[in-house]
Chain A
Amino acid sequence: MKTSMMKHNWLRLLCILVCLSFTAGMSAGAFAAPPDRDGDGYDKRSDCDDNNAAVNPGATEGPFGDATCSDTWDNDCNGLTDGDDPQCQGGVTCTDNDLDGYGSPGDPSCPNGGATDCDDNNAAVNPDATEGPFGDPTCTDTWDNNCNGLTDVDDLSCQLVDEVCNDGFDNDGDGNIDCADSDCAGESACTAGNKLTVNRVTGTVLGIGPDDGLWNATAATSYNLAWRDDINDTCPPEQSCSGNQPSLTVKAIHNGTDIAFLMSWTDVDQSSEVYQPSEFGDRAVIMLNANRICQMGSPTNPTNMWFWNAADKTQETEGSYGSVQNLLGGGIGTITHTDGDDNIQAVSSYAGGMWQVVMSRPLAAIDPLDQFEFTLGVTTDVSYAVYDGAFKQRNGSKWISGREAINIAP
């Protein structure tokens, strides 16, 4: 019995050895597994795209809004691609009232992506809309069309970039620099002999009037003024607002500490009292750091204006008319009355159909952020404007010079 058992065990061992031999031969030969071509751990038996490592049964497709839901691949090899895959169907939560493809709040399920629509009740306003260029209706529609937080003229894309005629740069991008640009034709920076030199004098300059003897030895520079009416409805259709073209001359002097400008211009009607809603005072403006003068400067390069109004009684002195304000302008509609009135003085007279207004100030600004700071020996751009109150001229309706230059003598 024992011999028989041993015999059976021997046969069993033999059988196991044969079986092991057979199995080893199979793995090394005719029954080998297919290769994993994309190296993602899955061969073609389970990988539905063995040429794309991002696609295999272990990959994830979704959730809704994920890039895997819009890559045209069946990432998780469940036979359903992108939006057909339930894992990509997270539900459309986009609220798009104006149907422009953008929601508020922004939502990836919106047709044009997840950016926020800043006015979801206006299809003309969304992050991909265009605002500008200058002159386009989108610059005057009171909407922030492109949702960049800046409306109309506040948006740089709506601002006209003027050529600055003496800075050595092609500011307006037309390929012409400074005086080579036809935009600079007639500008004093490009016209020999028309530049106003602010000569140094000895004596008091601050607070002087038009009759002060210091003006006698100072040459006057004449300017051609052009009519502008930027506010279309300022003038009723039946009325001409331009009146008569004023003849303007300017003198300027400094004494090393203070500077004074004398503006003299023709105006047949004195308007220095405002009694009615329809009455306006005569006004005059000196714009310093003049740039983009039709736009009143730019947000990054504001102009500084000394704005004299014959009807403004707030700082009027005896024997004179009007008061002057210190303004900053960084684009149309941005003019702001800032600190700084206190160091500008205005003394004026009206006689024989002519205004004479002296505006004077220390060369040093109260604050360079509020006022232009004069530097001896340096040329700067300046522009002038006058308003005839009898013709209801105000705001954009005025007579203006070009962008002129003054040289502050050392």
Chain B
Amino acid sequence: MAKGGGGGGNQIAMLINLDKCLGCHTCTVACKNLWTNKGGREYMYWNNVESRPGEGYPRNWEGMGGGFQGGQPDPGIFPANSDYGLGDQGQIVDFDYPTRLGHDPDNVTPNPGIVDADPQPEWLSNWDEEQGDGTFPNSYYFYLPRMCNHCDRPACLESCPRKAIYKREEDGIVLVDQDRCRGYRQCVRTCPYKKVFFNSETLKSEKCIFCYPRIEAGEATACAVQCPGRVRHVGFVSDASSDVYRLAKDLKVALPLHPEYETGPNVYYIPPFSGPSQVDSNGNLINVERIPVAYLRFLFGDEVDAAIATLRDARANGDPDGILAILNSNNRYDIPQP
């Protein structure tokens, strides 16, 4: 078996165009309704959308270690319940829907509270929505959908003492075998993206399954299909004829998140490149990036400069490589039919 339990080289991948993501969270809702709405999974977001800059979910996941450094594993740390917005005893926070939705007209308050939480939560998924950074009128933010990266070298897989995690030969999807998992949670710690979640009802760990039953039926993932912005493409990055390969590997305009974690992620992002620049005190556009490139380098590495240059060149010069044509295509999925 290849290092990291890799399969036969077939690797399905997701490409997400951050330049078009409108932050509607429909992908999150689609995923949650399909996979994580009960059974101890209520707090899990196999897919979530974060406002960036921000701390994300679980809170400050980028500061919790994991992955590899110079090829050596970093054990990482556990997120605390408060980082997920869970109560000290695992209580799941929910909203006061009757009040919030006006179903109880005698009890409408201007700031309906959150019930079933004592103490009140200090963090939840999307807690820092659209806070962003910068100073008015040059404040900024953008959306970052996140999911399991189904890595080439999954730190979760290598750290599992139970051999409960495996990477499928046919498509590289990384799965947790629920029959073998014994809840030691090494994967929760070692995943640098903190996309493995512990289910305190089953006492086992769970994660995004890349909607493998849909993939096997020739259908794209729920998060991709439901996206109203059509920002997600699904295909085999191991297939040189695929759009994902062309944008990620050939033209290098789509980049993995935090490549310095050394896990070889297979979710690729088109960086946000076409927003307005900053304005001066008179409201006139000036030639200063609104989203600092330094922040994009923090997320996507130094290759983001060349990626943005290529994307802007495509927009300015007639899209000679067909990059924008692919990104605007209605044919976004390249999944073998059964």
Give me the interface of A with B, judged by CB distance under 8 Å. Answer: 119, 121-122, 141-144, 151, 231, 233-234, 236, 273-278, 281, 309, 311-313, 332-337, 394-396
Contacts and interface: CB of A to CB of B under 8 A. Distances in A.
A311 B203 contact: yes
11 contacts: A121-B2, A122-B3, A141-B3, A144-B1, A233-B73, A275-B86, A276-B78, A277-B80, A277-B185, A278-B185, A395-B186
A142 B185 contact: no
B29 interface: no
A278 B73 contact: no
Given A231-B161, A234-B186, A275-B81, A142 B1 contact: yes
Interface in B73-91: 73, 75, 77-81, 86-90
Contacts of B185: 277-278
A311 B88 CA distance: 16
Contacts of B183: 394
Interface of B: 1-5, 73, 75, 77-81, 86-90, 158-159, 161-163, 179-180, 182-186, 188, 197-198, 200-201, 203
Report whether over half of chain B's contact residues are helix, strand or loop; otherwise say mixed. Answer: loop
Given A234-B186, A275-B200, A333 B3 contact: no
B90 A276 contact: yes
A278 B80 contact: yes
B1 A119 contact: yes
Contact of B161 (A119, A143, A395): A395
A189 B166 CA distance: 41
A275 B88 CA distance: 7
A312 B203 CA distance: 7
A218 B51 CA distance: 65
Contacts of B163: 333-334
Contacts of A142: 1, 3-5, 158
A151 B87 CA distance: 42
Given A122-B2, A142-B3, A233-B73, A276 B182 contact: no
A233 B90 CA distance: 26
Contacts of B89: 273, 275
Contacts of B203: 274, 281, 309, 311-312
Nearest to B82: A276
Contacts of B158: 142
Contact of B179 (A144, A281, A337): A337
A233 B5 contact: no
A334 B163 CA distance: 8
B1 A277 contact: no
Nearest to B201: A313
Contacts of B4: 142
Contact of A336 (B80, B88, B180): B180
Contacts of A312: 203
A394 B78 contact: no
A278 B77 CA distance: 9
Nearest to A124: B3
Nearest to A151: B1
A119 B78 contact: no
Contact of A119 (B2, B90, B159): B2
Contacts of A313: 201
A236 B75 contact: yes
B188 A236 contact: no
Closest 7 CB pairs of A and B: A275-B90, A278-B78, A233-B75, A277-B198, A276-B81, A395-B184, A275-B89
A275 B161 CA distance: 22
Nearest to A325: B182
B207 to A, nearest CB: 13
B1 A276 contact: no
Contacts of B78: 276-278
A121 to B, nearest CB: 7
Contacts of B79: 277
A234 B186 CA distance: 7
A311 B183 CA distance: 11
Contacts of A334: 163
A144 B87 CA distance: 45
Nearest to A275: B90
A313 B40 CA distance: 13
B3 A143 contact: yes
Nearest to A307: B182
Contact of A276 (B2, B77, B80, B201): B80
A321 to B, nearest CB: 14
A143 B5 CA distance: 9
A396 B184 CA distance: 10
A72 B200 CA distance: 71
Contacts of B2: 119, 121-122, 143
Contacts of B198: 277
A333 B162 contact: yes
A333 B81 contact: no
Given A119-B2, A276-B86, A278-B80, A335 B182 contact: yes
B182 A395 contact: yes
A315 B3 CA distance: 39
Contacts of A141: 3
A25 to B, nearest CB: 81
Given A151-B1, A276-B90, 17 more contacts: A121-B2, A122-B2, A141-B3, A143-B1, A233-B159, A234-B186, A274-B200, A274-B203, A276-B81, A276-B86, A277-B81, A277-B198, A278-B78, A278-B185, A281-B203, A333-B161, A396-B161
Nearest to B88: A275
Given A142-B1, A142-B4, A277 B161 contact: no
A341 to B, nearest CB: 13
Nearest to A237: B75
Contacts of B182: 335, 337, 395
A142 B165 CA distance: 13
B225 to A, nearest CB: 31
